[in-house]
Amino acid sequence: MSDTQQNTLQQDYILDEQVGFILRRASQRHLGIFASRIPELTPTQFAALAKLCELGAASQNELGRRTAMDAATIKGVIDRLRRRGLVATVKDANDQRRLFVKATAAGEELFANCVEQARKITDETLAPLSEKERLMFLQLLSKLQ
């Protein structure tokens, strides 16, 4: 009876043990590491720039899809990168709907200068794990995408 009552109020639901909560905390820690190592770009800005350097160029929405950002989000990210002269946009002549985006020389240079820190961000994020654990973790996390 008292067990039933306790469950009605508390239900044995421990927030700190839920995967969503721990996922959020791990993300926060990672974002903190990122901000301390690459203060001039946010993780999403860096992702857009990195993917752009990887692809060469892409339409705005296509870039959003490749970096897991919806149309509204990628628009803001590209606007801010363009304002800083790190990317340039042109209307696609073949398809008037598309906005063609590419990294500028300054954007490519900034990306190149950040890559080393980006690798350290990955290392530092995974630092609490052994080499074996890192591989296992990345393998399991990848399944949850």
Contact residues toward a copy of itself (CB under 8 A) are 8-11, 13-15, 18-31, 34, 43, 47, 50-51, 53-54, 67-68, 108, 111-112, 115, 118-119, 121-122, 125-126, 128-129, 133, 136-138, 140-145
How far apart, in Å, do the first and last CA atoms of the chain sit? 42
| Short-list 91, 39, 107, 99, CA closest to 75 | 99
User: Is residue 87 a contact partner of residue 102, using CB atoms and an 8 Å limit?
Assistant: yes
Q: Give φ, ψ of 99 to 5 degrees.
A: -110, 115
Nearest by Cα to 62 from 102, 93, 118, 112? 102
Q: Pattern of binders to DNA over 17-56, x per CB under 7 A?
A: -------x---x--xx--x------xxxx-----------
Report the nearest approach of DNA to the CB of residue 79 (Å).
7
60 touches DNA by CB under 7 A: yes
Rounded Cα distance between 35 and 30, Å, is 9
Q: Which residues bind DNA (CB under 7 A)?
A: 24, 28, 31-32, 35, 42-45, 59-62, 68-73, 75-78, 80, 92, 94-100
